[in-house]
Amino acid sequence: MSIDIVEEFLKLVAINSPSGTERELACYLKEKLQQLGAEVYEDGSADKTGSNTGNLIARYPGKTAKPTILLTAHMDTVASTEGMTPEIREGAVYSDGKCILGADDKAGIAVILGVLQNLKNNPALQHGPVEILLTVQEEVGLKGVKNLDYPLQADYGYVLDGDGPTGTIVNASPSHITLDLVVEGKAAHAGLAPEEGINAIVVASEAIAGIRSGRLDEETTSNFGLISGGKARNIVADKVEIQAEVRSRSKEKLEKETEAILAKFEEVTAKHNAKLSVNKELAYEAFTIDTNHPVISNAFKAGQKLGIEVKVQATGGGLDANILNSRGIPCVALGLGADKPHSNEEYVIIAEMQKCVDFLIGILAEAVKSS
């Protein structure tokens, strides 16, 4: 018996699982993982995340005691796929164009199931224990992994949620600070007495105009993503709310750019006698994994034997890997042939998913040799 990775992927995307509603998919995966010989657990994170299920954790026994390798993906999709009919053409699976496909991250889940089926079918293959983590609400702030309440035992691991073809390894991701800024001015009639008011929109606009944003350098970005305020065209706006962010792989640059934003807002609001309130949060911390670490060096060895070109790169986005690394489990993300996530043009290349299964089997074998 073997898993047809396309057939399995199509089953997964047929189960609608937008963030917070992963229960149906979790139930399917529990049964599937148990059939493959894994012990499966559900943690109690749902009480904190508000999802209708917890994270799933599974353990597949090894032929050797070490090392324990973590394979992880997320069960939620960024939007609903209800009613979507996948289309297979030119060696890839596409959405029908009405909504997203859900390859982010059901392609990753399909690959993990393919790996376990391969291990089950090849009992002579030497490998350590495999730990599986399938998270909820990754698409809405990494909530599932942040609230994971199960003690993982992995020595290091792979997040099946990277960009690019098989062989692409994401070994670095930035820290992410979120800023919620509120500028309060004073309302007045815009035609009768505008001079009696303090226009919060004008104040906020002046502050934003004086701040660098976009790509600041190769490892640092900032963005003003949402601004809302005012009540009517004939009222001087008395309140504006702004959502902004700063990301950087450098702690010093992260703090410098964040403080620059806050300093400019403080300067401009004081100048106009407006009020400023700020909520600043560290969403997640940066990580960088050295290429000499076994999590990467074993991938290079496996790639060389399989004829897979291995390429190491950084990303500007956040991953479950950010949280796992901050908790002491070195993790990188692997590409698996998916592209255009979060869009109706999303697709995944079939051969790349199967190649990723083979790549991981090779990595598991190399991990035993190097331990």
Separation CA 87–CA 6 (nearest Å): 11
Query: Hey, is 1 helix, strand or coil?
Result: coil
In contact, 302 and 358? CB cutoff 8 Å: no
Does residue 76 carry a catalytic annotation? yes
Residues 6 or more apart whose CB falls under 8 angstroms from that of 348 comprise 9, 92, 93, 101, 103, 107, 336, 337, 338, 339
Active-site position among 138, 238, 346, 366? 138
Separation CA 174–CA 317 (nearest Å): 7
DSSP 72-130: EEE--BSS--TT---EEETTEEE--SSS---HHHHHHHHHHHHHHHHHHH-TT-----E
Measured from the Cβ of residue 360, the count of other Cβ atoms closer than 10 Å reads 26
- How buried is residue 195: exposed, middle or buried, by Cβ count under 10 Å (0-12/13-18/19+)? exposed
Instruction: Single out the residue of 244, 328, 332, 257 nearest to residue 283, CA to CA.
Output: 244
Separation CA 264–CA 207 (nearest Å): 6
Give the H or E element holding residue 182: strand 175-184
Measured from the Cβ of residue 44, the count of other Cβ atoms closer than 10 Å reads 12
Active-site position among 76, 105, 131, 139? 76
Catalytic residue list: 76, 138
